Chain A
Amino acid sequence: MRLKTAFVFIILWLAILPLFSQYKYSDFSTLTRRINVLKDKYPRLCTVKSLVKTAGGREIWVLTAGTGNMDEKPGIVICGGIEGNHLLGQEIAMGFAEKLLENSSSQEIRNLLEKVTFYVFPNLSPDAAQQYFSDIRYERVANARPCDDDRDFLIDEDPFEDLNNDGLITLMRIYDPAGTHIENVRDNRLMVPADLSRGEKGKYLVYSEGIDNDDDGLFNEDGEGGVNFNNNLTWKYEHFGKNAGLHPVSEPETKAVLDFLFDRFNVFAVFAFGPQDNLGQPMKSPEPKSAGGEKGQDGDEGRWFMPRPVSLKSVLKSDELINIMVSDKYHEITGAKGAPVAAAAPGNFMEWAYYHYGRYSFSTPGWWFPIEKSETREEAFLKFAEKTGMNDVFVPWSEISHPGFPGKKVEVGGIKPFVMINPPADTLGDLIEAHYRFLVAASLMHPELEFLDIKTENAGDNIFRLTVKVHNKGLFATCAEVGDESIWTRIMRIVITPARNQTIISGLKTQRIKRLQGNETAEFTWLISGKGSTGISAGAANTGFISTSIDLK
């Protein structure tokens, strides 16, 4: 009987296995199933929790992987779905969690899970991501909160329409003697703005495929939703910006994720798979370089007693060094060449995690194609697609009749949505594997404390001089420099506990330990009267705690 059940399970398992080995982009219910499979399969190594439901009723899942007291070991956050149109980010984050746990029987991963805790958020934009799987596919970044995107006091009044019934939103071009666009001479499938300075006159008007429902001259400018998670954070937040929300951290999912992260003082690094990049091209500290980087002064004319606010303008020097180290590792392991086009976004997550959360923060789209200086992004993509055998990325222009342009020739066509930022599903396996190996390698650089050079000297008459060094044997500093003064990181402390018959003659019982760079030490000395076993403990949540006891005799 029991054998039989086991056999059925094995058969079932074999049936499921190919599903996981052949990756494809997961819709929300598949993602939910995948993350809960891990919870059931590795109950001793991970927990799965829903932090909140979005306006669209979808959970924000977080998987915590590790052992023991997980919130008091160096923590790493791994996020996908930074923007809803970037499905690859979800696959890398979810794929990482699956591989990590699958490999948890190996010595390397077992050791890693003893030392480090992983917090994996596979999708921070589940409402928007679902558009990839819907009947009308377009690159949506907004959650399901009804919003007046174009500030005309109407809500979600101008959505997308699939005029050629192919399930995709592409472009439409209207032949018009007063047009703004012409065909790109190097690839006549593409539209480019006419350049008057070169004597070009436009032939086409070009708009997003749809109808101007609210008759304001704009197409699809106020579709379903919403707020983009990646515009809703506090760093350089754009008030009244598109998809920015009513104020920074206005959305339940943004708030829930931040509450979770701020409560995890042990997190030392955040890895986001989304449009921002500092793994292809590290963030730059400005020249000339000085210790402490550049701190800009704002509003320095204030003349009262309060300290003047100082806001950070760029990455700090010692953090830049770590960024370079991690970026090199990224190139080395993934084999990625060059860097994607830098994507600036007000209120974005990656820069928030660095400047406002005060942690090491890394981000990459995970996949990109090379762009020559002389070419447009679309041109470069079509060239790349042809070279790498990506078929089916372009909808040929075909005529439709459009109620908004009676008597005019209107065609629908263009590059398919999603294909420029999400690679074909058959490449997912390799990409996930490469990013998994990179994340494991980066995790192994975590900060870790040890006591070094414990020295005891008998100064005579039962007075002992006790000296220890606290050593960070990791490569990451115990805390990013940017977070060193933040109230949302902890200060390491060293505490000495004398035996009952011992007293401290010199040196404080509790002392702060300064931030330690990789491979840096801090030395502490006490004078203690009396023989016995003296306890010392050191650390903070972000490094973990170490302790020892020393016999003074």
Chain B
Amino acid sequence: MTRRIAIPILFLAISLSFQARAQNAELFFKAAGSPSNPKVSTSWNKYFTYEGIMDFCRKLAKEHPDLVTLETAGKSYKGRDIIAIVISEKKGQSPDKKPGFYIDGNIHSNEIQGSDMALYTAWYLCEMYKTNSFINQLLKDKVFYILPTINPDARQYFMDEPNSTHSPRSGLVPFDNDRDGLYDEDGYDDLNNDGVISMMRRKNPDGKYITDPKDPRRMIMVKPGEKGEYELLGLEGIDNDNDGLINEDGIGGYDPNRDFGFNWEPNIVQWGAGKYPFSFPENQAVRDFSLKHRNIAGAQSFHNAGGMILRGPSAKDTGTEVFTRADEMVINTIGKKGEKIIPGYSLLTIWKDLYPVYGGELDWWYGAIGSYIFSNELWTQRLMFNDTSNVDEYEFERLLLFEDAFIPWKEADHPVYGKIEIGGFDKNFGRIHPGFLLESDAHRNAAFCIYNAWTMPKLEISSINVRDLPGGLKEVTATIANTQLMPTHSGTNLKYKIDPPDYVYLDGGKVIAGMIVTDIDRNITVEQKKNPQRIEVSNIEGYGRVHVRWIVKGGSRYGVRVESVKGGHVSRQAG
């Protein structure tokens, strides 16, 4: 009985798994720069739910065991795992001894496409590793830590519950926004039960709005002196707590990206802050992850929207962090390259070009951890017609989405306003990408991350010279080069000694003395009196090199090892 059923099921399982694994290569012709026959097949014109993300991560790990390890960074408020995909070639150097690149998405709940772009990056790296020599080398040299969503509760809440494209920004920890002792008691109300919070309008002879003759779905303001037909009443909602206000205390009500423990300011100063830094469990997970993986030298956070590549500082003249000239060069070089890689996106400085932010994630990574970081505001209306002058969402939605993203105005009853009409764009339009543009922008943002990761320090011991000294002693001189743009230590890292210096060890023989050669031609040296076998180099600059020297007694085969927290570990034998 059991056997008879089991055999066909086994067959079915085998054939299913076969289908999932190989997509019959003969059916496809490779498009340049994309995996034509990926082990994990998917399409990038839809959004992953939380379960979808977890499922995708597990598939990636299963199909790419030589590259992928899954880690749990922590738990969300509602107890969901915050998953981290660790991607690097496992067979060589241990991944935590390589420079690390960190990516997270979705810190703001409604800004969901950051997760999908992070997942695209993970997928692309894994699927191109075997066939593309650049990606292959990258995964030999570096490790990626990708946290697709650092806000899983509210991601799912955005998808499952009635919301607008702007809600919620907050996570789900209850907050008493109207300070009446009740928590989250007066949020939006889905009056027409369509799963979306859209606009309310009401016919009113004194109203200031009319419908647009070019597209009657759109409300436009009348010019002074003209007569209106409608008034706008805001987003769908009623006065749930009978205090005379509508929608004043919705779900959550804080900003997860004002919760980080650097340049933090309280709620009176910085809207959205919690009680103190790392008030929210999701951000505690990010903090703990950043402390556990000190090799992270570069980082990327995905937000929406506006088409921006944001860099620090986040506030003017307030932080402890230092942007040295070397750091400015690194940040601007990468950022400017980003403008080229992602057309329509501009490199901007947060406090100057946007608004001041206290307690943002960027400040934590740059200020407290010493990692270079950018935050991309994904999606811009400039992508609709590849045009900066025509950014008409209604026209785009009509011509390219066939009115798939608009909820037609329809009559409804409101307990306070009486007969009203409800309508407007769906929550999946306005800030997140329409399906057909998602893959292309995901690829560009992934390419930016890949470029960014490639610029992380790459250390090489370029030479080891051994010279005989009188009395049977040897002089061993090693040259360590950083062949990439980023230094091993940022300005803040150097000033506040966040990471140890780069350690250069000599193995073999008894070290009598050790020194840094500051000028190899004129033979100027600075001796390190304590523990000379391990020379401490404060920093190896981008495209820079350092020379270290030991006076050694005995030994014949000398080995040199470099251990740099953010620059990676390398070693070489002399001769």
Contacts and interface: CB of A to CB of B under 8 A. Distances in A.
Contacts of A328: none
B534 to A, nearest CB: 12
A310 B355 contact: no
B269 A510 contact: no
A283 to B, nearest CB: 17
A309 B264 CA distance: 12
Interface in A209-226: 215
A375 B496 CA distance: 36
Nearest to A304: B355
A226 to B, nearest CB: 18
Contacts of A491: 178-180
B489 to A, nearest CB: 13
B148 interface: no
User: Which of the listed residues A238, A248, A255, A262 has the most CB atoms from chain B within 10 Å of its own CB?
Assistant: A248
A488 B267 contact: yes
Contacts of A238: 320
B193 interface: no
Interface string B286-326: 01000100000000000000000000000110101000000
Contact of A487 (B175, B264, B354, B367): B175
Interface string B32-72: 00000000000000000000000000000000000000000
Contacts of B175: 487
B271 A307 contact: yes
Contacts of A262: 275
B510 interface: no
Nearest to B351: A299
Given A234-B266, A239-B367, A247-B368, A309 B276 contact: no
A258 B276 contact: yes
**B242, B355, B496 — which one has the most chain A CB atoms within 10 A of its CB?**
B355
B168 interface: no
B226 to A, nearest CB: 27
A250 B261 contact: yes
B500 interface: yes
B354 A304 contact: yes
A306 B271 contact: yes
B266 A356 contact: yes
A531 interface: no
A239 B275 contact: no
Contacts of A482: 268
A44 B175 CA distance: 33
Interface in B263-287: 264-271, 275-278, 287
Contacts of B275: 258-259, 262, 488
Contacts of B358: 309
B355 A311 contact: no
Contact of B530 (A215, A307, A488): A215
B268 A486 contact: yes
B352 interface: yes
Nearest to B253: A487
Given A307-B271, A510-B242, A299 B318 contact: yes
B356 A358 contact: no
Contacts of A302: 351-352, 354-356
B176 interface: yes
A541 interface: yes
A312 interface: yes
Contacts of A514: none
B33 to A, nearest CB: 35
Contacts of A490: 179-181
A493 interface: yes
B277 A299 contact: no
A246 B315 contact: no
A486 B266 contact: yes
B368 A239 contact: yes
A487 B497 CA distance: 36
A303 B179 CA distance: 29
A248 B318 contact: no
Nearest to B499: A153
Contact of A306 (B177, B264, B352, B355): B355
B268 A485 contact: yes
Interface in B241-268: 242-244, 261-262, 264-268
Contact of B265 (A255, A311, A487, A508): A311
A540 interface: yes
Contacts of B521: none
B353 interface: yes
Contacts of B268: 312, 356, 358, 482-483, 485-487
Contact of B244 (A153, A246, A508): A508
Interface residues of B, number: 43
A249 B359 CA distance: 13
Interface in B344-374: 351-356, 358, 367-368
A440 to B, nearest CB: 29
Which among B244, B265, B351, B358 has the highest number of chain A CB atoms within 10 Å?
B265
Contacts of A307: 271
Given A247-B261, A249-B278, A356-B266, A489 B179 contact: yes
A416 B421 CA distance: 79
A489 B180 CA distance: 9
A493 B265 contact: no
Contact of B500 (A153, A247, A312): A153
Interface string A511-535: 1000000000000000000000000
Interface string A300-322: 01111111111110000000000
A298 interface: yes
A302 B275 CA distance: 25
A299 B244 contact: no
A247 B262 contact: yes
B462 to A, nearest CB: 27
Contacts of B354: 302-304
A508 B277 CA distance: 38
B267 A487 contact: yes
A298 B269 CA distance: 10
A250 B316 CA distance: 25
A541 B496 contact: no
A514 to B, nearest CB: 13
Interface string A475-510: 000000011011111110100000000000000111
A403 B291 CA distance: 39
A151 interface: yes
B242 A249 contact: no
Contacts of B267: 486-488
A362 interface: no
B277 A249 contact: yes
Contacts of B352: 301-302
A307 B244 CA distance: 24
B500 A248 contact: no
Interface in B167-195: 175-181
Nearest to B178: A491
A248 B242 contact: no
A28 B497 CA distance: 36
Contact of A309 (B177, B262, B270, B287): B270
A265 interface: yes
Nearest to B501: A153
B316 A301 contact: yes
Contacts of B291: 246
Q: Which of B261, B262, B266, B276 has the most CB of A within 10 A?
A: B276
A225 B82 CA distance: 32
Which 6 pairs across A and B sit closest by C-beta, in order of nearness?
A247-B261, A299-B356, A302-B355, A249-B276, A239-B320, A306-B355
12 contacts: A246-B291, A247-B264, A247-B278, A247-B287, A249-B261, A250-B261, A301-B316, A302-B352, A303-B354, A309-B269, A309-B270, A482-B268
Given A240-B320, A490-B180, 12 more contacts: A240-B496, A247-B277, A249-B276, A258-B275, A301-B316, A304-B354, A308-B356, A309-B271, A309-B356, A355-B266, A490-B181, A510-B243
Interface of B: 175-181, 242-244, 261-262, 264-271, 275-278, 287, 291, 315-316, 318, 320, 351-356, 358, 367-368, 496-497, 500, 530
